[in-house]
Amino acid sequence: MKELKQSFEYILNLDVASLLKSDIIDQEIIHQSKVIGSGGETKISDKLQYLLEHDDVFKIKFEKFLRNCQYVFIYDEIITANQVIKSKNPRKTYRSFAYYESYLGTIKAEIEGGNLTKGDKIIFIGSGPLPITLIQLYEHYGIESIGIEIIPEVAALSRQLISSLGLSDKIEIVTGNHFSIKSAKDIKHIIVALAAEPKDEILQWLKTVISKDTSVSYRFEEYEDKAEKLKDLFVFQERKYKEFDGYTTTKIIKPAPPSRNIIAIVKPSLN
């Protein structure tokens, strides 16, 4: 929690002049870049593009900047989770979360990819402080779940949030990681979050605990326009699509905007 707060404050109080050569990069570009981690629109000029491709020292400094930006979204979730817990109307507050609508398409894609129906149960690895995936799965489809969160404080906050929504008997939050899953024979579908890493290790472990009827999905991103390629340059390589050893991709589902995560449905390959 302390690391998240420090990273968030680092971004807000960034000395742009010393970090990004303000004599070359104008302030507006940097201002727009600060919203990368929270999903906002990002602008990238030809000058910035050139520096990132040709100036290794600059690229290293900018990489540090972007890595800290990644914490903004997590910190935003923590703030929202606390607001929900303290609210007199937790459900209304939860639904006011900036990304609520964008998750609806992602959830629909998971339902399609996992062939899920009411009464099924899923596991979500990397559920975070505001497990909106799990809440929406139950809220809209009657799917019960187990969320796995590696940071104890974040998991505890998530449990409080779930309790405030009256869903503790439908959504369980476990403190741990993928190795905490000892058996998933009765689980219909397992979701690996966009930020859950290392994905290869996670997927290799899952092969040892799932049944032949359990589907697995992992979320990834791809960028097509010039602005979005800012993320593609160095920081988010682990969030791109790839084939994993021992797995076959059976389907890729790209939800309609404003949903941004793309869903890859994978199955262990037959030996």
pLDDT at residue 212, rounded to an integer: 86
Task: Identify the residue with better confidence: 208 or 21.
Answer: 208
The runs of H, that is alpha helices, within 149-236 are: 152-164, 199-206, 229-232
Query: Residue 237's pLDDT band (boundaries 50, 70, 90)?
Result: low
* Mean pLDDT value across residues 211-217: 92
| Rounded Cα–Cα distance for residues 34 and 14 (Å) | 9
Average pLDDT over residues 83-91: 95
pLDDT category at 221 given cuts 50, 70, 90 is: confident
For residue 271, is pLDDT > 80? Answer: no
Most confident of 23-32, 208-217, 222-231: 208-217
Side chain identity at residue 156, one-letter code: A
Looking at residue 1, its pLDDT comes to 47
d(CA 147, CA 171): 7
What average pLDDT score do residues 46-55 get?
73
Q: Is the pLDDT of residue 172 over 80?
A: yes
Which residue has better confidence, 266 or 54?
A: 266
pLDDT (average), residues 79-91: 93
Q: What is the pLDDT of residue 46?
A: 67
Share of the chain above pLDDT 70, in %: 70
Report the pLDDT value the prediction gives residue 55, as an integer from 0 to 100: 79
Model confidence at 42: pLDDT above 60: no
Residues 6+ apart with CB under 8 A from 238: 197, 198, 199
- Most confident of the ranges 4-8, 33-37, 51-55, 121-125: 121-125
Burial 211-239 (b: 16+ CB within 10 A, else e): eeebbbbbbbeebeeebbebbebebbeeb
What's residue 57's pLDDT? 77
Element (H, E) at 148: strand 144-149
More confident residue, 112 or 7: 112
pLDDT, position 30: 42
- DSSP label at residue 184: B
**Of the listed ranges 47-56, 90-99, 136-145, 239-248, the one predicted with least confidence:** 47-56
pLDDT digits (tens, 9 = 90+) for 106-155: 999 999 999 999 999 999 999 999 999 999 999 999 999 999 999 888 89
Q: In this predicted structure, what is the pLDDT of residue 32?
A: 41
- Dist. CA 96–CA 73, nearest whole Å: 15
Higher pLDDT, 134 or 69: 134
Q: What pLDDT, on a 0 to 100 scale, did the predictor assign at position 195?
A: 84
